[in-house]
Chain A
Amino acid sequence: MNRNLIIRTLGLVLLFEAGAMLPSLFISLYFGENDREAFLSTIALLAVPGFLLYLVRVKDTTVGYREGFAIATMAWLVTAAFGGIPFLLSGSLPTFYDAFFESMSGFTTTGASVFTDVEALPRGLLFWRSFTHFLGGMGTIVLILALIPSLKIAGMQLYKAEVPGPTKSKVLPRILQATRQLWKVYVIITAAEVILLALAGMPLFDSFIHTFGSVGTGGFSSKNASVGAYNSLAIEAIIIFFMVICGMNFALHYAALRGNFRSLLQDPETRLYLGIIAASTLLISVNLTHSAGHSAGDAVRNSLFTVSAIITTTGFATADFDRWPDFSRYILLLLMFVGGCAGSTGGAIKNVRILILFKSASRQFLKLLHPQAVVPVRLGREVIPDEVVDNVQTFFYLYMLIFLGSTLYMTSLGLDLITAASSVAATLGNIGPGLGMVGPMTNYAALPASGKVLLSFCMLIGRLEIYTVLVVFSIRFWRKGQ
């Protein structure tokens, strides 16, 4: 393994994070709040070792499979660990694992919080918390590579590790070009949402916070009652639109911005995704009006917002969906597993994998009837190679295995089944709020320490799509000479 390369890249990541903290520092200075020292010290803590590591000499700049996985996993761990330090130093959070949980939740765009009262937080910290969503949404490592091409580190392995989805579609022949273009799209969408939210009457600072929360499909809010606090139809509509947009494949947005709307509209994954949103909204609205006595208008408005927030894995809330009937709650729990589309900022299993799983199952039936049939799995007109189908099946298996195992552990801590299961589903899928004790109007503060650590790892595993993290923790990975 190319150790020096990994170390140098980590150094770079630290330097980048120090830079990324500057806006929060300026906000802190501008408002003159007490988190100033916390940011200053953290930036120093990041910059000094970052600079030293960056000085390490690297002879060979090729990133192999191992280096790719190792860099991705370690960089995310280190970033999250350092990202939590301001919370710790400012005294907002009492312990390291709380800070780590909050920071990991930010970078992995989960949006699960251990703050009991976010409205009491200084604005610098609030901004930092949400800014990590923005950074984590599109993946930071490849961004760093894209911003500093002089490093000449070929990013294919890292790109594979960071961009979600079973097949990685590149919009341009070179990874770094592609990354830059996708980030451009991302920034355009972000700017549009900030402007629209501000126009809709949200304070500018809050607009940034909620924009970061929705474009990164994270879900941190500056209000305890989340988006519900504004009680504005316009704001909710804008946020729904942007959450749904950011749950779609950015490569297709890139094509659409260049005038090719057809590939977006004809994409089978996008269609499934929108179909699931429509169907779930309908079912939940009917359930709310009939069993819970909501008015039809409220039911549609709240269910559309909640369904969008959950399936895109954002996790904003306008209503306490934990108090909804079980049928609605169960649909939401299922949506936590579906997630967004490949190549989006959303998490969880992703629609394309669900599609491939169904297609693969129907192929099995066909093969039972015609044992000699040669049938490729297809999405639309495109043929999915068998390796990808295998990869998706294993992914699903591992995803469920991790979910079941982690839920087992959470129940052993004395949590009730719904809390245990939904907390794991909500962190593994990078959603944020779950059900029961971790519902939308409560938070993760009350969970036992070891539970928070486990859930922090669930977030990382979910964000890097299982394989990247698990392979680094496998014995074979560290065996020499392989």
Chain B
Amino acid sequence: MKITVIGSGKVGLEITRRLSEEGHDLVVIDKEESKLAKILENNLDVMAMKGSGSSAKVLKSPEVMGSDLLVAVTNSDEINMIACMMAKKLGIPKTVARIRDPDYARDLVVSKEDLGLDLVVNPEYAAAMEINRLLTMALPVHTEVFAKGKIQMADITVGESMPVFANRKLKDVELPRSCLIVAISRRGEMVIPGGKDTILPGDTLYILGHSDAIDRVCARIKKKKQKMQRVLILGGGRIAYYLAEKLCSLGLRVKIIEQNQERCRDLAERLPGVLVLRGDGSDIEILKREGIKETDGFVAVTGIDEENLLISLLAKQMGAKRVVAKVSRPSYTQLVERLGVDAAISPRLIMVSEIMRFIRGGRLLSLFLLLNGQAEVFELIVQPGTKIAGRTLKTSGLPKGAIVGAILRGDEAIIPEGNDVIMENDRLVVFALGHIMHNVESLFNVGGHFLEQKPYHPDAGTGPAL
């Protein structure tokens, strides 16, 4: 597939890299030569073009003409929108735009199609939804619904006081028959477990199964009901805005600490239920005064990775129960969770995965991202004539790192074992690690095709425009 990427900032670069690795032909356009030079530094085999992405001259150039997809991820919402609109008019079938301004994002609810945008990604919104999920989930359980409610996935963070799971081998864990532990997240890394693996305290288990079975598992654990009630957000950027709005609507009490007076006013005016405080978040006094001890959730989303990290650690030490930090640089993310911060969020990575998901698109019905896109859970329908149809799971050739968690046949939901057969028109709930996604796709023959259906899960952080 031929793809044009406009804007080769950090996001653009990451997308270019991932798409190029997956074998697509890429044209990258940027106004600044220095940014294009970075592509060359990264040894990417793509075509770099200097020019304005919103000019017809560039979009009509032979290099760009004939693209199947245009991804506009410059810093400017307006340029991204205009580029997509023009591209659509010039005959590029699919467009993706990054749009970050909350006001635009909301208006797009009515006019996304009119503007010729197929996907609108809003990294801050997606990050906020992810943080919201992290905060409200896993205390101790959080569930996500698939297959029209028949199948659920629960993520359970294992504590010392959970004898059902803690320090047991996987094969010894007693679970209802129609449940499956599909993955374990340990210190920020996602692993697909085998029967001999031991569950350690601090692990997060992802369990897929029939809804009623999952409810039973959750009920067993949910003895000590911890509830998220107070959330303190450090930094008043867009993530804070979206997050506070979401948490407020869920009935939580939210405080935002922000340094800039203007920004404070703006937030206070837009968010009636939120207490906005003006102050320096690295000042321990203000954290103490605002009751960091009684805070259930602490979220650091200032513009500086290091500050977010350090203050999150500090907050954790001072008694905040759950701590999430925004860390833009991907290289930090894994380290962070080892340090004691509960979760690290990278808006950039989330957005890249979102765009990747759209590009892979195909026959996925609903999709759900875990841990910054390290793993994905998706639903797909087995099309007639695909390689896998008619085989048992054992012989299906499904790579390691991917699990079929459930099969829906008609109205029946099956939690499959090795000998179950996959049939045409089955609906599968598949769990796969991010890096083997394209193997899975080729197996189901879904890569590279676009369907009219929107292939993403509406709750999985695709932006308010969806």
Contacts and interface: CB of A to CB of B under 8 A. Distances in A.
A443 to B, nearest CB: 49
A383 B272 CA distance: 9
A381 B290 CA distance: 26
B105 interface: no
Interface in A362-380: 366, 370, 372-376, 378
A381 B270 CA distance: 9
A271 B286 CA distance: 38
Interface stretch (B43-51, B260-268, B300-308, B432-440): B260-268
A370 B290 contact: yes
Contacts of B276: 373-375
A370 B267 CA distance: 16
B279 interface: yes
Given A370-B275, A370-B277, A375 B268 contact: yes
A373 B269 contact: no
B269 A376 contact: yes
Contact of A374 (B261, B286, B290): B261
Contacts of B268: 374-376
B265 A373 contact: no
A372 B265 contact: no
B118 to A, nearest CB: 33
A359 to B, nearest CB: 12
Contacts of B267: 374
A374 B277 contact: yes
Contacts of A373: 275-278
Nearest to B265: A374
A381 B272 CA distance: 8
A6 to B, nearest CB: 39
A366 B261 CA distance: 18
Interface string B323-350: 0000000000000000000000000000
A375 B270 CA distance: 11
A372 B272 contact: no
Nearest to A382: B269
A370 B265 CA distance: 15
A374 B272 contact: no
Interface in B41-62: none
A378 B272 contact: yes
A374 B256 CA distance: 10
A456 B264 CA distance: 47
Contacts of A366: 275
Nearest to A374: B264
B431 to A, nearest CB: 43
A372 B286 contact: yes
Contacts of B290: 370
Nearest to B276: A374
A383 B275 contact: no
A372 B278 CA distance: 5
Interface string A286-317: 00000000000000000000000000000000
Nearest to B286: A372
Given A374-B261, A374-B264, A383 B278 contact: no
A287 B287 CA distance: 52
Contacts of B261: 374
Interface in B278-313: 278-279, 286, 290
Nearest to A383: B269
A115 B269 CA distance: 53
A242 B94 CA distance: 61
A376 B276 CA distance: 10
Contacts of B286: 372
Nearest to B290: A370
B254 to A, nearest CB: 13
Interface string A46-77: 00000000000000000000000000000000
A376 B269 CA distance: 6
Contacts of A376: 265, 268-269
Nearest to B257: A372
For the complex of A and B, the 4 pairs showing the least CB-CB separation, nearest first, are: A374-B264, A372-B277, A372-B279, A383-B269
28 contacts: A366-B275, A370-B277, A370-B290, A372-B257, A372-B277, A372-B278, A372-B279, A372-B286, A373-B275, A373-B276, A373-B277, A373-B278, A374-B261, A374-B264, A374-B265, A374-B267, A374-B268, A374-B276, A374-B277, A374-B278, A375-B268, A375-B275, A375-B276, A376-B265, A376-B269, A378-B272, A381-B272, A383-B269
Interface of A: 366, 370, 372-376, 378, 381, 383
